[in-house]
Amino acid sequence: MQLLECDAKVLLSRYAVASPAGFVAASVEEAEAAASRLGSGSFFVKAQLRAGARMTAGGIRAARSTADVKIAAGALLGRKLATAQTRAAGLTVTKVLIEQAVQARRAFYLAVGIDEVRAAITVTLGESRSGDIEQLLREEPDAFSRLYLSINGECQPGDVASFCQGANLSMQEAEGLRKTIFGLHQAFVELDASLIEINPLLLTDSGAWIAADAKLSVDDNAAFRHSDLAPLGFDAEADQVERQAQRHQINFVQMDGDIGTVVNGAGLGLATLDMIRAAGGAPANFMDVRTTATSLDIAQGVALVLDNPRAKVLLLNVFGGGMQPCDTIVEGLGIAYRRSVRKLPIVLRVTGNNEDIARLRLANFNLPSTDCSDMWQAVTRAVAIARGGKS
C-alpha cells in the first residue's frame, strides 16, 4: 500500500521528520491560491502519483512565481503521466503538491527498508545524485552506507550516532540526522512499513534536515491494523481491478499484454509470466488464485480477464493440490463464461488432484478450449493465438 507523497509527509511529520511548506491542489485555481499562501520565492509543482521517477517524466516542475505555478499545474492536472514505475498508459494526475523550494547545502538519499537475508531493518544513506536511484544502488553499492537494526524494533542510540558521524558532518548536523533516522525507524515499525524513502533529504545552511520528497509503503498484510491508512493507499484508477480481485481471494495485477492468465499459486503464476515472455508473448495480467477461493470467487477473477479489452486469449495453468483441486478452478471458469458475453479462446494445462473431473466439467460447459500436456506447449499455443493463429 503506497501512499502519495503529500500523505506520506503528513504522517512522517508526526515523527519529527520535517518537509517543505506546501499545500495540495486539485485545480489550477487552488494551485494559484496555494502559491499565494506560501508567499514569494521559488516553488515546485509536483504531480501526486503512487509511483516514482516523476522528475524524469516531467511530473515535477520548478516555478519562479505564482503565474508559473498556475501554468505548471495546468500542464499536469487531468493529464496522463507515465513513469518508469507506472503501466505504459500512465496514471491520471488528479492533484498536485505546491511546495516552497528549499536552499540546501547538501543533499542525501536516506531509506529505511528490510534486508530479507539478514532479517534486519536496514538504513541506507548516501549522497543524493541525479539518475535512477535503484540502478545506482545496484551498480554502486559501495557509494552508500548501511546500518542494520533489529527487526523487533530496537534501535541503539550509539549505533545510529556512529553511523551518522561517517557522513562527514559536524556534531550538530550529525545529531540532527540521528534524530531524523530515529523518527523514520519509529515510523517504520509503528506503521508496519515495507519502505520509507527520502530522496532528497536536504541539509540547509541552518543545519535543518528537510525531506524534500518522501515515499512510504505499508505492508498490505498489516493493513488490518491501520484502517485509517487504507483510504490513503487507494488509487481508484490504478487499483480498482486489483482491489476487486482481493475481495474474492485472488491476487491480481493488470498488465499491458494480450494473454490473459488464470493460475493458482504465486510461484506458478510468476513462472507462467516468464514462459510467456520467453515464448515472445506479453501477459495481460498476473493472477494467483488463493487456496481459500471458491468456484464463485474464481469466476469473479476470470471475469476480470474477460473484461480486459486487450486480452485475446485466456491461458489457464492449474496445479491441483489437496486444498484446491483442478475441478474447482474449471468450475469457476465455466461460471464466468456463462455469465460473460465475451468469449476468449482458452488454452489450458491442468494437472494434479481431480484433473480428470476437471476435464469432464470442461466438456459439460462446452467451452472453446485447447488442452495441452505441459506448460510450454500451453504457453506457445496461447502466444500463437494472440498473434492471430487458430485456437
pLDDT at 35: 95
Mean residue pLDDT across the chain: 89
**Residue 254 in contact with residue 241, Cβ under 8 Å?**
yes
- Distance in angstroms (rounded) separating the CA atoms of residues 265 and 269: 6
Q: How confident is the model at residue 235 (pLDDT cuts 50, 70, 90)?
A: low
CATH numbers and ranges of domains, the chain: 21-100 (3.30.1490.20), 106-225 (3.30.470.20), 239-386 (3.40.50.261)
Q: How confident is the model at residue 161 (pLDDT cuts 50, 70, 90)?
A: confident
- Tracing cell 491476487 back to the chain, one arrives at 251
Burial class for 74, CB neighbours closer than 10 Å (0-12, 13-18, 19+) = middle
- Distance in angstroms (rounded) separating the CA atoms of residues 27 and 50: 19
pLDDT at 259: 96
Higher pLDDT, 264 or 390: 264
pLDDT in tens, 236-267: 554 667 777 778 888 998 888 999 999 998 89
